[in-house]
Amino acid sequence: EIQASFRQFGPLVVDWPHKAESKSYFPPKGYAFLLFQDEMSVQNLISCCIKDGDKLYLR
């Protein structure tokens, strides 16, 4: 589950386009939005990532 993977960084909401219409528990293939309650959560997430060019990968 997406929330379980990212909850360690702080409270968050997972959202994706057309979520209300699809009523699906999982986002479609492609992407989802992680909306953190605090900016520090985002900074902590970024600090745990590996940078490859302009992309970030969570270890």
CA distance 33 to 13: 8
pLDDT at 28: 67
pLDDT at 24: 67
Residue with tokens 């979520």: 19
User: Domain 2-58's class?
Assistant: alpha beta
- The residue ranges of every structural domain in the chain are 2-58
DSSP code for 51: E
pTM for this model (two decimals): 0.75
Q: What is the mean pLDDT of each run of 10 residues along the chain (59 residues)?
A: 92 83 68 93 97 94
pLDDT at 32: 85
pLDDT at 23: 66
Helix (H) or strand (E) segment spanning residue 21: helix 19-22
pLDDT at 1: 78
Q: Which amino acid appears at position 46 of this protein? A: I
